[in-house]
Amino acid sequence: MRILLVLANYYPYIGGAELLFRNLAEGLAQKGHIVKVITRHLPGTLLFETIHGVEIERVKVPSFFSLYLFSIVSLPVVIQQASKFDVIHTSSNYSAASAFIGAKMTQRPIVCTVLEVLGQRWHVVQATVLKAWLYRIVENIVVRLPYNYVITISEATHQDLLNASNKNLRGCSLVIYSGIDSLDDSLPKRFNGELRQHCNIPAHHFLYLYFGRPGITKGVEYLLEAVPTIQQNNSQAHLVLILSHDPVDQYQRIYDKVQILKLSGCKIDLLLAVSSRAKLIEYLLDADCIVVPSLTEGFGLTTAEACALKIPIVATQVGSIPEVISGHHVLVKPRSAEAIATGVTRVWRGEVDYTPAKDFSWNKMVAGYEQVYQEVLKL
């Protein structure tokens, strides 16, 4: 099959959705399909290149509101390319409009992966009522477009989609879970000491850790508010944040809060996200506990990855997290510093719950999308 992916963000952009689509594109190419990605140009990247069998065309978009302008600027390229492919595939984040128009103008079937549907929760994760209202209107438009097939990445997101679309999509929608990277047997299994040495944390101290983006929906502020209570419960507790720099305004807000906490005597370190996947895993394996304080989750990639590493987890009971969590864990209510502090203290004391391991395979995910493409091409 010839498959065209239209995505506002793609590798080397770092994020859960980007990891999903990179593994999907490269997995399809490895199985012999012709795969092309049309995406947004990022500083330092080439306009045209092929990576692991996937052809990539990057469209230059003005830096001002570049994500929101992607669908407009990319539309001529999408229309020009769409007729060369059997099926168009896009996601619900910033790229659906140009992909949908390009598919309809060239009479090609279109598949959309819906990563998350916030609905009324926009009012929780946005600072102003106006922003929440605008985002919800746009989301409603995007999820109600008449795609040939819609994929969601969890049962929770699928239910949110059904609620938002006001119609029965069960005949043309499906849940396909994201995969996660398996642990390389050559990596150290626990406590290789590199992260602790880097942050000067003794081996016997309790290290709890957050990794990922600093976006509003990630709830990092509530984790920071919990730090004084956690340290009061355990004077040897030490928090490490491994954060990407994007979005910049959220990163700066967290950075400023960290400095205030450190001045008050809290044990906390802030590291920029590492570019090497192997290095990140080595860092994570040094932790006694990983905290996922999200306000909402479409899949919960960091939760599933931490579970695969068999590290105890404290996670909020939102969205898909109860679906994907396994191993030793504590689920807590969202938007509560007190609940997070209690959860981390429970892990320190060994008072955790347990769920058997769950399998999230990239190969299974790629095979699921193959079946969807084949089905829409029969229509």
Instruction: Characterize the bridge pairing of strands 110-114 and 87-91.
Output: parallel
Mean pLDDT for the stretch of residues 115-119: 91
The one-letter code for the residue type at 250 is Q
Q: Is residue 235 part of a domain?
A: yes
Shared domain check, 240 and 211: yes
Is 295 a residue whose pLDDT tops 70? Answer: yes
The Cα 266–Cα 284 span in angstroms is: 21
The Cα 71–Cα 321 span in angstroms is: 31
Burial group, residue 246, by CB count within 10 angstroms (0-12, 13-18, 19+): middle
From 120, 116, 96, 123, select the one nearest 158 (Cα to Cα).
Answer: 116
Shared domain check, 334 and 239: yes
pLDDT in tens, 235-272: 999 999 999 887 888 899 999 999 999 999 999 999 98
Q: Is residue 73 part of a domain?
A: yes
Q: Is residue 188 part of a domain?
A: no
The Cα 169–Cα 245 span in angstroms is: 37
- The CATH number of residue 368's host domain is 3.40.50.2000
HSE-up (13 A, CA, CB side) for residue 236: 9
pTM of the model: 0.88
Shared domain check, 172 and 263: no
Burial group, residue 330, by CB count within 10 angstroms (0-12, 13-18, 19+): buried
Shared domain check, 50 and 86: yes
Domain extent, residue 251, equals 194-355
Q: Is residue 314 part of a domain?
A: yes
pLDDT in tens, 28-45: 999 999 999 999 999 999
C-alpha R_g of the chain: 21
φ and ψ of 353, to 5 deg: -95, 165
Shared domain check, 251 and 313: yes
pLDDT given at position 186: 47
